[in-house]
């Protein structure tokens, strides 16, 4: 089953974020996957999400993997900001604006860790030794559909490119179809 | 000047427009909007630039509001707190519920109109995007 937002919303329904735990073993570690207790330099982050390009993760020469710090929604000081991070947008003057572009909202991973929503801070990037970021240590494997929303959000944050979900998904489908090293179950839209 | 009000629109004739341009522009400056009459019908409207800008801005407001309306209506219907300046200004309360907010946004056909800094988002839908498979060298750099 594939998921897409009904309109232009940045995020999917919370039930479409994570590969079910019983299937996650079939999926290699990829960009967007979530890990708990990650050592980044001298700091220990409660959680982190891989932002490193997926195609680099298999290279033995890549010893350090780039991750974004993940924080609990409750770490934010007020309701207004929490709402904007959950939505990724805000209504201002009758228009809908992107809000806090450097954030990527993360739904809780069912059955894994605390049942609380989170957000990745795309401004807070660090490198972690690859030994910490294995499939066995993974808390959540992001679905292919949710990865499309991540790429879309990242494109806007990094390059201010406002592509639609469908455009990013079409690009990702073409990329997957042309990738001989793609492993694990693929999305239905890339077949 | 700058916004439309309930003042009656000044009318001039074709002959006045043709022969008394100085007067016409003074009239536009004074009244904002001048109608050009030809016998029993209005042939055209002349307006001050500020009035035109105001009309344009109102039209833009309408388009923006149409984009946000589905979300505002859905939020009002469900009582979920959404990130909305309009609801805040009107004092419309809502219950804080991240899950309900996420579900609302995933199911309402909304359109994002502006970027983070308020810049109108360019319409990229007409751009044909194509993924071009490329060969990539797998070499690694060696530092001295």
Residue B1's pLDDT is what?
A: 54
Q: Domain coordinates of chain A in residue numbers?
A: 22-142
Q: How many residues can be counted in chain B?
A: 144
- Compute CA B83 distance to the chain's CA centroid, rounded to the nearest angstrom: 19
CB contact at 8 A, B131 and A174: yes
Q: What are phi and psi of A140, to 5 degrees?
A: -150, 135
> What pLDDT does A85 receive?
98
Indicate if the pLDDT at residue A184 is higher than 60: yes
Between chains, do B96 and A79 touch, taking CB under 8 Å as contact? yes
Could you tell me if A84 lies within 8 Å of chain B, comparing CB atoms? yes
Mean pLDDT on A100-121 = 93
Residue pair A160/A152 in contact (Cβ under 8 Å)? The answer is no
Q: Is A34 left (phi over 0), alpha (psi -120 to 50) or beta?
A: beta
Confidence at residue B5, expressed as pLDDT on a 0 to 100 scale:
61
Can you give the pLDDT at residue A156? 96
Higher pLDDT, A141 or B3: A141
Say what the ipTM of the complex is. Answer: 0.94
The whole-number average pLDDT for the span A6-21 is: 95
Token digits for B14? 């074709």
pLDDT < 70: residue spans in chain B: 1-8
Report yes or no: B35 and B11 within 8 Å, Cβ to Cβ.
yes
Query: Mean per-residue pLDDT for A34-54?
Result: 97
pLDDT at B30: 87
Dihedrals φ, ψ of A92, to 5°?
-135, 120
Cα A178 from Cα B131, distance rounded (Å): 9
Question: What is the pLDDT averaged over residues A102-130?
Answer: 94
Helix spans in B32-91 (H):
49-78, 85-90
CATH fold label, A22-142: SH3 type barrels. (2.30.30)
The dihedrals phi and psi of A22, each to the nearest 5 degrees, come to -70, -15
**pLDDT value for B4:** 64
Q: Give residue A93's pLDDT.
A: 85
Q: Looking at the complex, does the CB of residue A187 fall below 8 Å from at least one CB of chain B?
A: no
Please name the member of B109, B112, B133 whose beta carbon is closest to the beta carbon of A178: B133
- Indicate the range of A38-52, A132-146, B17-31 predicted with least confidence: B17-31
Q: Which of A86, A88, A116 to mutate to test the interface with B (most CBs of B within 10 A)?
A: A86
Both tokens of B6, joined, read 């309930």
pLDDT in tens, A147-183: 999 999 999 999 999 999 999 999 999 999 998 889 9
Q: What confidence score (pLDDT) does residue A45 get?
A: 98
């Amino acid at each position: 089953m594939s998921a897409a937002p009904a309109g232009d919303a940045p995020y999917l329904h919370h039930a479409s974020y994570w590969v079910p735990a019983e299937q996650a073993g079939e999926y290699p570690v990829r960009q967007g996957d979530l890990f708990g207790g990650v050592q980044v330099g001298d700091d220990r982050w409660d959680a982190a999400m891989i932002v490193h390009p997926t195609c680099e993760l298999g290279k033995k020469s890549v010893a350090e993997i780039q991750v974004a710090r993940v924080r609990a929604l409750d770490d934010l000081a007020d309701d207004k900001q929490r709402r904007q991070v959950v939505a990724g947008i805000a209504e201002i003057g009758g228009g809908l604006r992107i809000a806090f572009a450097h954030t990527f909202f993360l739904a809780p991973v069912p059955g894994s860790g605390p049942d609380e929503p989170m957000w990745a801070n795309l401004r807070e990037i660090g490198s972690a030794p690859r030994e910490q970021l294995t499939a066995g240590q993974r808390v959540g494997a992001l679905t292919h559909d949710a990865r499309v929303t991540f790429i879309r959000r990242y494109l806007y944050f990094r390059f201010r490119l406002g592509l639609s979900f469908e455009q990013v998904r079409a690009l990702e489908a073409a990329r997957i179809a042309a990738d001989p090293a793609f492993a694990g179950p693929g999305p239905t839209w890339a077949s | 000047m700058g916004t439309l009000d309930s003042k009656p629109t000044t009318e001039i004739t074709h002959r006045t427009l043709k022969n008394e341009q100085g007067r016409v522009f003074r009239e536009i400056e004074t009244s904002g909007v001048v109608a050009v009459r030809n016998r029993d019908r209005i042939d055209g409207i002349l307006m001050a630039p500020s009035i035109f800008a105001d009309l344009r801005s109102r039209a833009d407001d309408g388009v923006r509001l149409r984009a946000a309306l589905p979300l505002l209506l859905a939020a009002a219907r469900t009582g979920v707190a959404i990130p909305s300046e309009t609801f805040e200004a009107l004092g419309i309360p809502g219950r804080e519920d991240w899950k309900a907010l996420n579900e609302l946004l995933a199911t309402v056909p909304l359109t994002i109109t502006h970027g983070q800094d308020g810049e109108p988002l360019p319409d990229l839908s007409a751009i044909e995007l194509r993924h071009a498979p490329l060969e990539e060298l797998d070499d690694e750099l060696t530092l001295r």
